[in-house]
Structure 1
């Protein structure tokens, strides 16, 4: 069958100001099995082109596929865009079969199928195996009642099949890297880049995160298989930067060390960036030199909050002392640290923002990223805040970069000013500026300057969006009523 995979535009986030984009790994991951099953598959990355919705619809018409697949890594905020595209496409071509997938559709399958008749099928959970069975059934016009992991509508009702089995071996399904042809994906200062995964899932039960729920269990690829793939991408496609999509790639220390050693043995001279738990950095203190030799230049560390009571409540399972130690260890091994800090987990007062700044200063990370607590309905955290009021009813903005939950003691305009003040203070403090201009490693100086240039543009853009573009809700609405 002729299949078009669409990565819809994500127009609400300021990171696109960098002028750099990473490929949609999730869509490439389902593209590979479809190609290997004999289908004619192409990718339309409308996020790369920053397309308007009418432009996306026109490009789909020009390709004229038999099956249209859509998904997005920004799942909650992307869903309204996906639904707008599907409605407009179906008006032009009622016979086209539309399939969507991702985290949000996995949990909101019923309401999506109820309110949008343009969407025919939803793949729930991991899609590599499910999508090939579903497309085969569509092609052969056969029954769907033996395909697990899908939701669909027949002439009488909406049907949800039992969940598909968790993929045991992540090496069994090939990523369709050839679908990147025609796109020049870059990151880290215009260097050719891809997103990659060593593992899926997370063994930690943080209440605000849906990773452990969606992926079911933590699994990893074989070290040799992944490094072979990275070497191929580097030597045949010129990829230099590998951005790891894992929530926590080092959950299994033995497997992680094996991967690092295998990568070091190839001497590929890559640039690697990833997220990792601070306590795993401390755990691996004796062989952090392997991290550096493998090519890691920055790790994102989820600090989340300064209040240990809040950290315990959201089941972060971290320790402030280990957070600090991890940043110091990374600096000793010439690896940058980015601390993410989340606003909105508690009922902040002005003094809490001051305490947050003091905490971040004591950590002394190389870079910071402040985010807003954004509850998703399928997470335990949602149940904790279901009766709280929200200030933003535009679902396209539910992307961690816009305040969603109302704060009782601080007005939204003051929240964003506090957030922006913390960001500017952290990035312009003397220690940060000294590293920015005089760090002994030229590559890290370049990386920090690249991030600072982007951060400056995004800083102004987000303020402008808040005060002049994004309308806050005028009606008082509780979280549970919004999702009712």
Structure 2
């Protein structure tokens, strides 16, 4: 079957400000198994640019596909674009199957199939196994009810099949690198870059995160195979930087150490950036020289807050002492700690924001990034926030960079101004400026200055959006998003014995 994988354009700050885009890993991960199943697959990556609707349709019509598979990593905030494009694609390709995958449609399949009649099928969960099964069924005209892990209309009503078995061996489904020209993708200020996953899921129980719900179980790739693939990308495609997409690649010290040792043994020079927990950095204090030799340069550490009560509420499991220690350890070993802090929790007051600023100054991070608490349906935080009022009903702004929940004790404008004040005070300190402009290490200097340039762009975009998209009290979370489709997890695999 002729298949077009469509990565739609995205309005979110993370897509538009950097002027650089990484290859869409989700599409490549599904594309490899589809190619291996004998299908003619091509990728239309409309996010760089971004492409206009006319350009997207023109690209589709160059080689009219029999199936269009749509998805985006920024799932919720990209959904309005998918909903707008689907009718245009249907009008241009009336006989094509339109399939929609990603986190948002996985948990909102009923609304998607009800509100978007042009979308034929939703892939729920991991696509590497489900997509080839679905395409085979569509090609054969088979009953879609036999395909696990999808939702479609039966007798005019949305209907979901049982969850698909979890992909236990992450190395069994290859990434379709041939679908993308890596020379057209960069990050980190012009470095040829890719995004990869060493692991999926998370062993921790943080309430605001959906990793555990969507991926169900923490799994990792074979450390040697993963390092070998990175070395191949460096040698054969000139890749200079790998952005690790997983939340906690370091969860298994044994597996992570084996990966780092293998990567060092390959002899390639590559920069690794990603996210992890402060606890893991402290745990691996003796391994940090190995981190550095393997190319690790920056880790995002999700502090979520500096108040112990908030950390307990979100079930973070960390402590302020370990957060501070991790930041110091990374700096001592020539690596950068990018610390995120979250705002928008229900109990917050002006005094809490002032205390947050004081604690961040004590932490002394190299870089910081603010995020807003967002009640996605696939997180326990959704259930905790069901009674709270939504102040931003435009889903395209549900990208963690715009406030979407009312904070009863602080107006939305004051929350925004507090966030900007905290960022300015922390990042404009003489000590912080010295790390940017007086840094002697060329890699660290480049990283600090690139992030500073990105920060200026984000600041301008956030201020512009604050005036364009005013936060106004609206319906409750449950009224706006609807109750969860299953009590705990819309991708519940407790019945999965595969």
* TM-score band, normalised by shorter chain: over 0.9
> Which of 454, 473, 476 is residue 474 of structure 2 equivalent to?
476
Q: Distance in 1 between matches of 2:220 and 2:344?
A: 33
Q: Distance in 1 between matches of 2:340 and 2:385?
A: 21
TM-score normalised to the size of structure 2?
0.94
With 363-372 and 183-192 compared, the bigger mean Cα shift is at 183-192
CA contact (8 A) 2:392 2:474 kept: no
Query: Which position in structure 2 is the counterpart of 1:199?
Result: 199
Superposed, which structure 2 residues align to 1:277-356 within 5 Å? 277-356=277-356
CA shift, 1:408, in A, is 1.6
CA contact (8 A) 1:68 1:98 kept: yes
| SS of residue paired to 1:390 | coil
| SS of residue paired to 1:128 | helix
Q: Distance in 2 between matches of 1:102 and 1:15?
A: 17
CA shift, 1:60, in A, is 2.2
Query: Which position in structure 2 is the counterpart of 1:108?
Result: 108
| SS of residue paired to 2:341 | strand
Q: Distance in 2 between matches of 1:466 and 1:56?
A: 30
Gaps of 5+ in 1: none
Query: Which position in structure 2 is the counterpart of 1:453?
Result: 453
Superposed, which structure 2 residues align to 1:22-33 within 5 Å? 22-33=22-33
TM-score normalised to the size of structure 1?
0.97
CA shift, 1:144, in A, is 2.1
Q: Distance in 2 between matches of 1:305 and 1:40?
A: 48
Q: Distance in 2 between matches of 1:182 and 1:253?
A: 31
Q: Distance in 2 between matches of 1:182 and 1:94?
A: 32
| SS of residue paired to 1:171 | coil
Query: Which position in structure 1 is the counterpart of 2:397?
Result: 397
Q: Cα distance 1:98–1:282, how it changes in 2: closer, same or farther (>3 A)? A: same
CA contact (8 A) 1:56 1:85 kept: no
Q: Cα distance 1:14–1:171, how it changes in 2: closer, same or farther (>3 A)? A: closer
Q: Distance in 2 between matches of 1:172 and 1:114?
A: 35
With 321-330 and 15-24 compared, the bigger mean Cα shift is at 15-24
With 60-69 and 123-132 compared, the bigger mean Cα shift is at 60-69
Residues 368-401 of structure 1, C-alpha deviations (whole Å, 9 max, x = no match)? 0001001112321111111111110101100100
Q: Distance in 1 between matches of 2:420 and 2:282?
A: 30
Q: Distance in 1 between matches of 2:42 and 2:470?
A: 37
CA contact (8 A) 1:32 1:176 kept: yes
RMSD of aligned residue pairs (Cα, Å): 1.4
CA contact (8 A) 2:348 2:407 kept: yes
| SS of residue paired to 1:10 | coil
Gaps of 5+ in 2: 483-498
Superposed, which structure 2 residues align to 1:37-436 within 5 Å? 37-181=37-181, 184-436=184-436
Q: Distance in 2 between matches of 1:431 and 1:481?
A: 47
CA shift, 1:83, in A, is 1.4
CA shift, 1:297, in A, is 0.6
Q: Distance in 2 between matches of 1:144 and 1:89?
A: 22
| SS of residue paired to 2:387 | coil
Residues 241-299 of structure 1, C-alpha deviations (whole Å, 9 max, x = no match)? 00000110011111111111111111211111010000000001111111000001100
Q: Distance in 2 between matches of 1:159 and 1:178?
A: 35
Residues 344-369 of structure 1, C-alpha deviations (whole Å, 9 max, x = no match)? 12432222211111111111110000
With 235-244 and 179-188 compared, the bigger mean Cα shift is at 179-188
CA contact (8 A) 2:197 2:246 kept: yes
Q: Distance in 1 between matches of 2:359 and 2:94?
A: 56
Residues 123-154 of structure 1, C-alpha deviations (whole Å, 9 max, x = no match)? 11111011001001111112223211111113
| SS of residue paired to 1:44 | strand
Please list every run of at least 4 consecutive aligned residues from structure 1 whose deviation after the TM superposition is greater than 6 angstroms. none
Q: Cα distance 1:48–1:172, how it changes in 2: closer, same or farther (>3 A)? A: same
CA shift, 1:80, in A, is 1.4
CA shift, 1:61, in A, is 3.0
Residues 295-344 of structure 1, C-alpha deviations (whole Å, 9 max, x = no match)? 01100000011211111111111111101000111011000000000011
Residues 404-442 of structure 1, C-alpha deviations (whole Å, 9 max, x = no match)? 001122222222111111112211111111111222311
CA contact (8 A) 2:15 2:47 kept: no
| SS of residue paired to 1:339 | strand
Counting matched residue pairs gives: 482
Q: Distance in 2 between matches of 1:103 and 1:406?
A: 24
CA shift, 1:14, in A, is 5.2
Q: Distance in 2 between matches of 1:480 and 1:222?
A: 41
Q: Distance in 1 between matches of 2:16 and 2:77?
A: 15
CA shift, 1:15, in A, is 5.0
Q: Distance in 2 between matches of 1:68 and 1:195?
A: 23
CA contact (8 A) 2:15 2:21 kept: no
CA contact (8 A) 1:15 1:454 kept: no
